[in-house]
Structure 1
Amino acid sequence: MPFQRQRICLPSGFALLFFLLPFPGEGNNITDLHWHPATATWYGSAEGDGSDGGACGYETLVDVKPLRARVGAVSPVLFKDGEGCGACYKVKCVMDQRVCSRRAVTIIVTDECPGGYCANGRTHFDLSGAAFGRMAVAGLGPDLRNRGEIPVLFRRTPCKYRGKNVAFRVNEGSTQFWLSLLVEFEGGDGDVGAMYIRQSGSADWLAMKHVWGASWCFNGGPLRGPLSVKLTTLSTRQTLSAPDVIPGNWSPKATYTSRLNFG
C-alpha cells in the first residue's frame, strides 16, 4: 500500500563544518525495555511477504532477505513522515494465550498505512501475513489471522543485518546537479534524522534534505566525486561517516555499499 508524501529538494545553501555527536543525556542504544500497547492487522496473502515496495521506497528489497516477510506498514505516529523508515520493532500478540505465542516477531518499517485502522493518532501495525501468523502458537496462524484487528504490545529493538553494511542507492533521475540517495541496511537505530555529503577535495559536509521515505537529496553542483556520506540517526543521534562511498563515475539506480555499520 505505497503512500508517498513527496517533498521538493531545494538548495541547502550552507555547509556544515563540525562533526555530529550524541546529544548530552542521550544514550546510544535504541533498545526499549518497556512494552507499549498498540493494535495490529495484516495484509497481502496469508503467508505472503506483505508490501510490494512501500512508501519508504525500498522497492524490491522487501521481497528478499533480510527484509522478506519482516516488513510492516505503520501508522503516521511511527512513520514520522518517512523518518521512521528502517526502524525495527518487536511486536507480540496479547489477545488470547490459547492462540497467541509468547514469542515476539521483529518487523522493519517499510511502508505507511495512512487511513482506516491507522488514522486518528492511533499506534497501529499492518503486518505481512507471514509476520502476523508468527505471533501465533505453532499451527494456529490461520486462526490468529481470522481474528482481524488484534491488540498487541510493541517495543523498539536494534536492527541487525548480519553480514550487511550500510548501503546507498542512487535514485533514478539523479545528476551531478541533483543527487538523491536512499539508505539501505542501516543497523542499530535503523532510522535517519540527518544526512550529509562531502565532495572530493573538500572538508565541508553539505546538508541533504529529507524528501520522502528513506530518501534524501542535495540540490547544487556540479558535484565532484567520489562522494563521502555521513548520516545521523533520528533516535539516538549516532553518526556514521562513509568515506568516498559514492564513486566519481556513479550511475542512477546503482547501489554503493560502505565498509561499516551501526551496532
Structure 2
Amino acid sequence: MPACLIQNLSLLLFTLVASTPRLLTTAHYSTSAPFPASSPNALSEWRSARATYYAAADPRDAVGGACGYGDLVKAGYGMATAGLSATLFERGRICGACFEVRCVEDLRWCIPGTSIIVTATNFCAPNYGFAADGGGHCNPPNSHFVLPIEAFEKIAIWKAGNMPIQYRRIKCRKEGGIRFTVDGSGIFMSVLISNVAGAGDVAEVKIKGSRTGWLPMGRNWGQNWHINTDLKNQPLAFELTGSDGVTLTSYNVAPQNWNYGQTFEGKQFES
C-alpha cells in the first residue's frame, strides 16, 4: 500500500438532492482561443508523473475530498477520480479538471494499451517527514496522482505500488447539466459547483438575483463559492468562466422559492 495520505480539508458534505426538479435554463457561450492540443479533446501534451493508489476500508464509506464534492458516487464522479500533489493541486483551483492517465516505462506491471480518464477531486498532502524521492510522494516538486484502486488497476497491476505514469489535461465530458448546491444561513450563501464539462475547473463565478446585477462570488475552497448578500425570494442566475476562458450563463437556475440545502441544474459547457 502506498504511504500517501489524502487530506480531507472539510468534514462538511454537500448533499445532492435527487428529488429536486431540474429546471429549464437558457444560456449563451463566449468564445476563446483553444489550448495547444495534439487531439480535439486534449488541453495539454503528455507529461511525466507518478501514481499510487488507495483502497477504502469499507466500500460503503462515502469518499469525500478536498474539492468539496462530498460523496463522490452520489455526486456522479464514481471511482474515476484522483487526488493530486501540491504541485498539481494549485490550492484547489484545479478541482474538477479532467486528466487522461497511462502507465509507462514498466513492462512488468503496466497493462499495455490502456489509459483512464479521471477528475481531480482531492488533495494529496505533503509528508515532510520523508524526502521527496523517498516516502514523501506528494511533496513538492513531485507531480503525483493518488487513484482509487479501482482506477489504478485499469492501467497497472496493484503490486506495482508507486508507478511512473504520463498524464495530460483533456476536456471533461459529463452527463446532464452543471449542478449548483446552495447552502448557507442568513445572508451568507455558499454554492458548490459540480459536474462541469469542458475545462472542468471553474475560475470565476458570478450570481444574479432578479433584483440585483451580476455579483462576483469568492472561492471559499475547492469548488465551493460564497457571497454575503441577501438573495432570498429571488430566482437565481449564474455565470461561470472556466480556466480556458470560456463563459457560460444560465438563467432561472433556481426558482424564486429556493431554499438552502437544495441542488439545481443549469446549462452545460460544450465538451
Aligned partner (choices 257, 260, 268) of residue 260 of structure 1: 268
The answer to whether 1:86 aligns with 2:96 is yes
The answer to whether 1:4 aligns with 2:14 is no
Preserved CA contact (<8 Å) 1:226 1:246: yes
Q: Report the RMSD for the aligned CA atoms in angstroms.
A: 2.8
For residues 68 and 240 of structure 1, the distance between their equivalents in structure 2, rounded to whole angstroms, comes to 25
Residue in structure 2 matched with residue 95 of structure 1 by the alignment: 105
Report deviation, 1:199: 1.2
Preserved CA contact (<8 Å) 2:7 2:125: no
The answer to whether 1:147 aligns with 2:160 is yes
Aligned residue identity for 2:256: G
Residue in structure 1 matched with residue 178 of structure 2 by the alignment: 166
Going from structure 1 to structure 2, the CA distance change for 1:211 and 1:30 (only over 3 Å counts) comes to farther
For residues 7 and 152 of structure 2, the distance between their equivalents in structure 1, rounded to whole angstroms, comes to 19
For residues 192 and 30 of structure 1, the distance between their equivalents in structure 2, rounded to whole angstroms, comes to 18
Aligned partner (choices 130, 139, 143) of residue 123 of structure 1: 143
Alpha-carbon displacement from aligned partner over 1:60-109 (angstroms, at most 9, x marks no partner): 1x124741110110012222111111100011111323431221111111
Aligned residue identity for 2:203: G
Alpha-carbon displacement from aligned partner over 1:6-49 (angstroms, at most 9, x marks no partner): xxxxxxxxxxxxx99556x5549762352100010001249969
For residues 70 and 135 of structure 1, the distance between their equivalents in structure 2, rounded to whole angstroms, comes to 12
For residues 139 and 60 of structure 2, the distance between their equivalents in structure 1, rounded to whole angstroms, comes to 23
Q: 1:38-53 residue pairs with structure 2 within 5 A? A: 38-45=49-56, 52-53=63-64
For residues 50 and 235 of structure 2, the distance between their equivalents in structure 1, rounded to whole angstroms, comes to 46
Preserved CA contact (<8 Å) 2:207 2:238: yes
Preserved CA contact (<8 Å) 1:49 1:68: no
Going from structure 1 to structure 2, the CA distance change for 1:48 and 1:31 (only over 3 Å counts) comes to farther
Aligned residue identity for 1:106: I
* Count of paired positions: 237
Residue in structure 2 matched with residue 106 of structure 1 by the alignment: 117
Residue in structure 2 matched with residue 187 of structure 1 by the alignment: 197
Alpha-carbon displacement from aligned partner over 1:144-199 (angstroms, at most 9, x marks no partner): 2212111100001111113x11110113xx13511110111100110010000011
For residues 182 and 80 of structure 1, the distance between their equivalents in structure 2, rounded to whole angstroms, comes to 18
Going from structure 1 to structure 2, the CA distance change for 1:245 and 1:86 (only over 3 Å counts) comes to same
Q: TM-score, normalised by structure 1?
A: 0.81
Going from structure 1 to structure 2, the CA distance change for 1:2 and 1:255 (only over 3 Å counts) comes to farther
Residue in structure 2 matched with residue 241 of structure 1 by the alignment: 249
For residues 130 and 37 of structure 1, the distance between their equivalents in structure 2, rounded to whole angstroms, comes to 22
For residues 81 and 94 of structure 1, the distance between their equivalents in structure 2, rounded to whole angstroms, comes to 28
For residues 32 and 205 of structure 1, the distance between their equivalents in structure 2, rounded to whole angstroms, comes to 30
Going from structure 1 to structure 2, the CA distance change for 1:124 and 1:157 (only over 3 Å counts) comes to same
For residues 26 and 58 of structure 1, the distance between their equivalents in structure 2, rounded to whole angstroms, comes to 28
Aligned partner (choices 70, 83, 106) of residue 73 of structure 1: 83
SS at match of 2:268: coil
Aligned residue identity for 1:150: M
Aligned residue identity for 2:269: N
Alpha-carbon displacement from aligned partner over 1:98-131 (angstroms, at most 9, x marks no partner): 4312211111111000213111221100000000
For residues 269 and 66 of structure 2, the distance between their equivalents in structure 1, rounded to whole angstroms, comes to 24
Identity percentage of aligned residues: 29
For residues 120 and 65 of structure 1, the distance between their equivalents in structure 2, rounded to whole angstroms, comes to 30
Gaps of 5+ in 2: 1-5, 11-27, 127-135
Aligned residue identity for 2:260: P
Residue in structure 2 matched with residue 226 of structure 1 by the alignment: 235
For residues 61 and 80 of structure 2, the distance between their equivalents in structure 1, rounded to whole angstroms, comes to 8
Going from structure 1 to structure 2, the CA distance change for 1:222 and 1:100 (only over 3 Å counts) comes to closer
